[in-house]
Amino acid sequence: MATRIESPALREEVWRDVLPSGLRCYVLLKPGFAARYASFATRYGSCDQSFVTGDGRLRETPAGIAHFLEHKLFEEEGGNVAERFSALGAMSNAYTNYGATSYLFSTTENFPAALDLLLQFVQQPYFTEENVRKEQGIIAEELRMYLDDPRSVVFQNLLAALYQRHPVRVEIGGTLESIRQIGPAELFLCHKAFYQPANMVLMVAGDVDPAAVFAAARRAVPAAAAGAEVRRVFPDEPRQVGEEMRRRRMAVGVPLIAIGFKDDPATAEQSLRREVVMEVLLDVLFGPASEIHRRLYEEGLIGQQFAASYFSGEGYASTVLGGPTPDPDRLLARVEALLAETLRHGLDPTDVERSRRRSLGEFVALFNAPEAVAHAFSEYALRDLDLMAAYDVLLAVTADEVAQRLQETFGSPRRSVSIVEGEG
């Protein structure tokens, strides 16, 4: 039965329904918006390489198979699904990250037909030996492109240094070696295991009728489609980092640095609050209005691309900061010195409150971008979290709570550094 979720503070309205198949459906009403957006996502990402299926068997799959599967689902016998979306006037896309795969479209016309197509093609895989071999070549070229991209290299090298065993240390697309191990049998296995309705979320945002969306989903995803739940298996990840430093020489005009602080993974209950608190903390420390940012900028060590973020998922969590810099080693030393100074003196509660209010404003503004909010809503729902509840958490964040996270994150850091510098 559909239920209405309202947030008086946000002045937003969301409808939710859980179908007999187990599929969770959400509709964010945006009256008057011309564009409508839909996302059909599964909790299956690049880190889900080992799992136990309903028959009790442990399955070990090659790195990159979730991303490979995302590519292949757009291919159908005799054509490509993207062309069918274009014929309806809709723009389609898909992405795979460490914990999810999402298929999406946006349109101002033919929304019901585009929604039916989205729900249909994701559930109907078409794999042959020939089209899988062809895709191996396409993805290999994509991986080579990442290997030549300094921004991708500096980040991936950081993860490989921070983590010793967890699959987050491997590129989302896999490796040139691992994708050669992927065939139709492996793709069918993973599709059957993870593209189960109870493991998926449908999210729609725009000026639409929630009842019509839920009815379309019921027609396309019958109760008979439900299957056995899989159990993910992850290796035991040591608390300490694997390597303190990784350096790479590439053809870059300005060197790049990424600094990572390894954190203990959060439980499902902790994750929402920790992510909200970390957003406030990182804005206080490294945001454009922060004292650290001002000093580093005036010293000529950073530019506008310097950023900090909290990066977390099942079995991993880290704070990552960095960007282009003319002197990576000096920037690293200055960041460490300024963090040590902050740890000694503590945070100014006025700065914490300013950042908390800024985060509240950005959160409210998110709901004016249906595509962005639908993406965020889906990601949270796949983790059994409520995006709208994050607003209430932000309202309740205290300076003491942020100060505690400062000590936990940077007080006795487990730190790794990745640097990409010029070949000269």
Q: Catalogue the active-site residues.
A: 70
- Ordered DSSP codes for 376-413: HHHHHHHTT--TTHHHHHHHH--HHHHHHHHHHHHSS-
H-only helix segments in 195-311:
210-220, 268-286, 291-298
- What are the CA-CA distances from residue 174 to residues 10, 26, 290 (Å)? 40, 32, 37
Token pair listed for 321? 């900061």
Pairing of strands 36-42, 50-52: unpaired
SS3 245: strand
Token pair listed for 246? 């990784």
Burial grade of 207 (CB within 10 A; 0-12, 13-18, 19 or more): middle
What values do phi and psi take at 227, rounded to 5?
Answer: -140, -175
Task: Write the CB contacts of 350 (distance below 8 Å, at least 6 apart in sequence).
Answer: none
CB 217 within 8 A of CB 248: no
Q: Which value, to the nearest 10 degrees, does the dihedral of the CA atoms of residues 304, 306, 312, 315 take?
A: 160
The C-alpha atoms of residue 232 and residue 283 are separated, in whole angstroms, by 34
- What are the CA-CA distances from residue 114 to residues 26, 121, 216, 219, 309 (Å)? 17, 11, 11, 14, 35
Q: Mark residue 216 as left, alpha or beta (left: phi above 0; alpha: psi -120 to 50; beta: remaining).
A: alpha
